[in-house]
Structure 1
Amino acid sequence: MLEPARTSPRRLGSARKGIDLADEARFLKSWFDKPLVTGAVSPSGKALARMMARYVEPEHDGMVLEIGPGTGPVTEALLERGVAPERLVLIEFNDEFVPLLRRRFPGVTVVQGDGYAARDTLAGLVGAPLTATVSSLPLLTKPVRQRVALLEQCFDMSRVGAPFIQFTYGLVPPIPREAIGDITTAGSPRVWMNLPPARVWIYRRPA
């Protein structure tokens, strides 16, 4: 099933936040150092980042959680989408990326910690239910039960119907349908302009 992308209600006119070739070098170094943690050899491309952000509804109340922002291409797309900085909280494991994100995105809450333990990592930091979770974690490096556990804990922190948004380079959903019961799964159109091409998957827990 393909889920149509939402059009952007607002596009900020601000300049780029400095995401450039230097980020490619940072990402590549991180991948060489910890390939199973970083998961990709380069940041998400602009087209993929925008595709992920399109499934977030900025007019809905609540915080938006981004897990595994890396150097911030999806963060930038979320801000362009219309998510206010004070409503955006990031969990980043890499201690080199955390100060970079804080400098690059003033007003955004950046927490260093384990995205797979999002509930514990955010304990005491998020009061209202989340309105969306956007993940760039390398889920395929983890057992299926750990992927499902991440999905469930994010839904437990979210309002009813809030999406869990995840990209993958693979052809099938990164969290198998047969492992998640009545949680719905929908895929975006394939993002051919990303290298390598990718697809965004949107999970929702029904009311």
Structure 2
Amino acid sequence: MLEPARRTSRLADGRGKRIDLADEARFLRSWLDKPLVTGAVSPSGKALARMMARYVDPTQPGMVLEIGPGTGPVTEALIERGVAPERLVLIEFNPEFVPLLERRFPGVTVVRGDAYSARQTLEGQLDKPLTATVSSLPLLTKPVRQRVQLLDDCFDMSRVGAPFIQFTYGLVPPIPREAIGLTTAAGSPRVWLNLPPARVWIYRRPA
């Protein structure tokens, strides 16, 4: 079910700068250097970022993990949604993007590391269960078993019922239903304003 939109003025005080055209160049350089790691030639659009953020409930206690934040469009949407920066933990692999995120979003914890080894990367960083995981990783570049392992690792660090949120440009779920057992998967409406159009998939592990 689509969560209601929430508005906040949190970014109005300068905590986070708007995404600019320089981010497009950064993303393109990163993609040209390592296309299988970056997975896209430009950052997620605002409509897609907001769609992803809508499935995070900021009233639920706990930390919110974002993996593959890039230059921060989804991070910005999460803060606009009402998630306090101090509750956000980001795993970013690209060393160029880490200081950019730290400057752009004061108070957010940015960890440079491999999200596919999330538990090891976050060792000592979490003092309470995750309330949501939001992923912009290019999952389709990895084998299905590795995608499922990532999903399980994030659920193991999360409270019961916490969503794992992932976007895809494809027509089918990025983690196949037949590979996830009892875990549920639901797709959002297609985000036609994104280029290319995308869909958000929400996974939950039942109690």
- Normalization by structure 2: what TM-score? 0.97
Q: Residue 12 of structure 1 is aligned with which of 9, 14, 17? A: 9
Corresponding residue of 1:162? 162
Separation in 1, partners of 2:152, 2:60:
21
1:142 aligned onto 2:142: yes
Corresponding residue of 2:101? 101
Fraction of identical pairs, as percent: 82
1:172 aligned onto 2:172: yes
Shift in Å at residue 13 of structure 1?
Answer: 5.6
**Superposed structure 1 runs of 4+ greater than 2 Å apart:** 8-16
- Paired letter, 1:8: A
Task: Give a deviation string over 1:42-69, Cα, whole Å, max 9, x none.
Answer: 0000000000000000000000000000
Contact 1:44–1:194 (CA<8 Å) still a contact in 2? yes
Task: Give a deviation string over 1:51-90, Cα, whole Å, max 9, x none.
Answer: 0000000000000000000000000000000000100000
Count of paired positions: 204
Separation in 2, partners of 1:108, 1:168:
25
Contact 2:10–2:82 (CA<8 Å) still a contact in 1? no
Separation in 2, partners of 1:14, 1:107:
12
1:26 aligned onto 2:26: yes
Contact 1:12–1:81 (CA<8 Å) still a contact in 2? no
Give the gaps of 5 or more residues in structure 2.
Answer: none
Does 56-65 or 12-21 show the bigger shift?
A: 12-21
Q: Secondary structure at the match of 1:18?
A: coil
Separation in 2, partners of 1:95, 1:80:
25
Separation in 1, partners of 2:140, 2:74:
19
Shift in Å at residue 177 of structure 1?
Answer: 0.2
- Paired letter, 1:59: T
Q: Secondary structure at the match of 1:14?
A: helix
- Normalization by structure 1: what TM-score? 0.97
How much is the aligned-residue C-alpha RMSD, in angstroms? 0.9
1:42-81 equivalences in 2 (<5 Å): 42-81=42-81
Separation in 1, partners of 2:52, 2:11:
20
Task: Give a deviation string over 1:159-184, Cα, whole Å, max 9, x none.
Answer: 00000000000000000000000000
Separation in 2, partners of 1:53, 1:14:
15
Shift in Å at residue 8 of structure 1?
Answer: 2.5
